[in-house]
Amino acid sequence: MPEMNESGMILIREGALLPPGFAVESDAFLPGWRVVKNFDGYTLNRKISQANWNFVRLNGEHKARVVGRAYAGTLRRGIAQILTRLRGKKFNSLEVTVVVLKRFVGLAFVSISANRRQIQGGLRVSP
Protein backbone atom coordinates (compact mmCIF):
# COMPACT_ATOMS: atom_id res chain seq x y z
CA MET A 1 0.00 0.00 0.00
CA PRO A 2 1.53 3.34 -0.97
CA GLU A 3 2.18 5.75 1.87
CA MET A 4 -0.36 8.49 1.34
CA ASN A 5 -3.44 10.07 2.80
CA GLU A 6 -6.22 7.82 1.55
CA SER A 7 -8.73 10.69 1.48
CA GLY A 8 -8.01 12.27 -1.88
CA MET A 9 -6.56 9.07 -3.34
CA ILE A 10 -7.09 8.74 -7.09
CA LEU A 11 -7.44 5.45 -8.94
CA ILE A 12 -7.07 5.36 -12.72
CA ARG A 13 -8.28 2.48 -14.87
CA GLU A 14 -5.42 0.69 -16.58
CA GLY A 15 -5.23 1.73 -20.22
CA ALA A 16 -7.10 5.03 -19.65
CA LEU A 17 -6.23 7.65 -22.23
CA LEU A 18 -4.13 10.47 -20.74
CA PRO A 19 -2.91 13.74 -22.27
CA PRO A 20 0.09 13.31 -24.61
CA GLY A 21 3.36 13.41 -22.70
CA PHE A 22 1.52 13.30 -19.36
CA ALA A 23 3.37 11.00 -16.97
CA VAL A 24 1.76 9.82 -13.76
CA GLU A 25 3.53 7.64 -11.23
CA SER A 26 1.25 4.84 -10.10
CA ASP A 27 1.17 1.46 -8.40
CA ALA A 28 -1.10 -1.53 -9.00
CA PHE A 29 -4.01 -1.41 -6.55
CA LEU A 30 -6.75 -3.76 -7.77
CA PRO A 31 -6.99 -5.76 -10.99
CA GLY A 32 -7.48 -3.22 -13.78
CA TRP A 33 -6.88 -0.21 -11.50
CA ARG A 34 -3.79 1.76 -10.50
CA VAL A 35 -3.40 4.19 -7.58
CA VAL A 36 -1.81 7.52 -8.47
CA LYS A 37 1.20 8.47 -6.36
CA ASN A 38 2.11 12.04 -5.36
CA PHE A 39 -1.17 13.63 -6.58
CA ASP A 40 -4.51 14.24 -4.91
CA GLY A 41 -7.64 15.12 -6.90
CA TYR A 42 -7.00 18.86 -6.80
CA THR A 43 -3.39 18.61 -8.01
CA LEU A 44 -4.22 16.06 -10.70
CA ASN A 45 -7.09 18.25 -11.93
CA ARG A 46 -4.74 21.24 -12.17
CA LYS A 47 -2.10 19.25 -14.10
CA ILE A 48 -4.69 17.81 -16.50
CA SER A 49 -6.18 21.30 -17.04
CA GLN A 50 -2.72 22.63 -17.93
CA ALA A 51 -2.65 20.03 -20.73
CA ASN A 52 -6.03 21.42 -21.99
CA TRP A 53 -7.84 18.25 -20.93
CA ASN A 54 -10.66 17.83 -18.41
CA PHE A 55 -10.92 15.88 -15.16
CA VAL A 56 -14.70 15.75 -14.75
CA ARG A 57 -16.50 14.71 -11.56
CA LEU A 58 -19.53 12.59 -12.45
CA ASN A 59 -22.79 12.63 -10.49
CA GLY A 60 -23.25 10.65 -7.32
CA GLU A 61 -21.27 9.74 -4.27
CA HIS A 62 -20.62 6.03 -3.73
CA LYS A 63 -20.09 4.53 -0.29
CA ALA A 64 -18.94 1.30 1.30
CA ARG A 65 -18.50 0.11 4.87
CA VAL A 66 -16.24 -2.88 5.49
CA VAL A 67 -15.48 -4.74 8.72
CA GLY A 68 -11.89 -5.75 9.28
CA ARG A 69 -8.75 -5.32 11.37
CA ALA A 70 -6.09 -5.05 8.66
CA TYR A 71 -6.55 -1.48 7.48
CA ALA A 72 -4.89 -1.76 4.05
CA GLY A 73 -6.78 -4.95 3.18
CA THR A 74 -10.05 -3.54 4.46
CA LEU A 75 -9.56 -0.38 2.40
CA ARG A 76 -8.97 -2.46 -0.75
CA ARG A 77 -12.08 -4.56 -0.08
CA GLY A 78 -14.19 -1.42 0.39
CA ILE A 79 -12.96 0.16 -2.83
CA ALA A 80 -13.47 -3.16 -4.63
CA GLN A 81 -17.10 -3.14 -3.39
CA ILE A 82 -17.63 0.35 -4.80
CA LEU A 83 -16.06 -0.59 -8.15
CA THR A 84 -18.18 -3.75 -8.34
CA ARG A 85 -21.37 -1.72 -7.84
CA LEU A 86 -20.22 0.68 -10.58
CA ARG A 87 -19.50 -2.05 -13.14
CA GLY A 88 -20.98 -1.09 -16.49
CA LYS A 89 -20.86 2.66 -15.80
CA LYS A 90 -18.60 4.80 -17.95
CA PHE A 91 -15.71 6.35 -16.03
CA ASN A 92 -11.94 5.94 -16.05
CA SER A 93 -10.96 7.16 -12.59
CA LEU A 94 -12.22 7.15 -9.03
CA GLU A 95 -11.50 9.76 -6.35
CA VAL A 96 -11.68 8.50 -2.78
CA THR A 97 -13.02 11.50 -0.87
CA VAL A 98 -13.44 10.16 2.68
CA VAL A 99 -11.89 7.25 4.57
CA VAL A 100 -12.77 6.83 8.25
CA LEU A 101 -11.65 4.03 10.55
CA LYS A 102 -14.25 3.45 13.28
CA ARG A 103 -14.81 1.02 16.13
CA PHE A 104 -18.17 -0.10 17.43
CA VAL A 105 -18.68 -2.73 20.15
CA GLY A 106 -15.16 -4.02 19.62
CA LEU A 107 -15.49 -4.31 15.84
CA ALA A 108 -13.26 -2.24 13.58
CA PHE A 109 -14.62 -1.06 10.25
CA VAL A 110 -13.74 1.38 7.50
CA SER A 111 -16.23 3.77 5.89
CA ILE A 112 -15.30 4.93 2.40
CA SER A 113 -16.87 7.53 0.11
CA ALA A 114 -15.79 7.96 -3.51
CA ASN A 115 -16.76 9.83 -6.68
CA ARG A 116 -16.50 8.69 -10.28
CA ARG A 117 -14.23 10.88 -12.40
CA GLN A 118 -13.52 11.01 -16.12
CA ILE A 119 -10.27 12.13 -17.71
CA GLN A 120 -11.05 13.34 -21.21
CA GLY A 121 -9.49 15.37 -23.96
CA GLY A 122 -11.12 18.42 -25.37
CA LEU A 123 -10.98 22.14 -25.67
CA ARG A 124 -11.28 24.09 -22.45
CA VAL A 125 -13.38 27.22 -22.65
CA SER A 126 -11.85 30.31 -21.06
CA PRO A 127 -14.14 32.28 -18.71
pLDDT in tens, 56-98: 999 989 999 999 876 788 899 999 999 999 999 999 999 999 9
Q: Does residue 3 belong to any structural domain of this protein?
A: no
Q: Does residue 127 belong to any structural domain of this protein?
A: no
Domain count, the chain: 1
Residues 19-65: tens digit of each pLDDT: 998 888 999 999 999 999 988 888 899 999 999 999 999 998 999 99
Among 98, 113, 112, CA closest to 7: 98
- pLDDT at position 69, please? 74
**Better-scored residue on pLDDT, 72 or 18:** 18
Q: Does residue 25 belong to any structural domain of this protein?
A: yes
Measured CA distances, 111 to 20, 61, 75 (Å): 36, 13, 9
DSSP 42-75: HHHHHHHHHTTEEEEEEEEEEEEEEE-S-HHHHH
Residue 4 has pLDDT above 50, yes or no: no
Q: Does residue 58 belong to any structural domain of this protein?
A: yes
Residue 124 has pLDDT above 70, yes or no: no
The model's confidence at residue 3, banded by pLDDT at 50, 70 and 90, is very low
Q: Does residue 115 belong to any structural domain of this protein?
A: yes
- pLDDT at position 7, please? 73
Q: Does residue 111 belong to any structural domain of this protein?
A: yes
Q: Does residue 69 belong to any structural domain of this protein?
A: yes
Q: Name the residue range of residue 88's domain.
A: 10-121
Q: Does residue 59 belong to any structural domain of this protein?
A: yes
Distance, in Å, from the CA atom of 62 to the CA atom of 97, rounded to the nearest integer, reads 10
Q: Write down the mean pLDDT value for the chain.
A: 87
The model's confidence at residue 17, banded by pLDDT at 50, 70 and 90, is very high
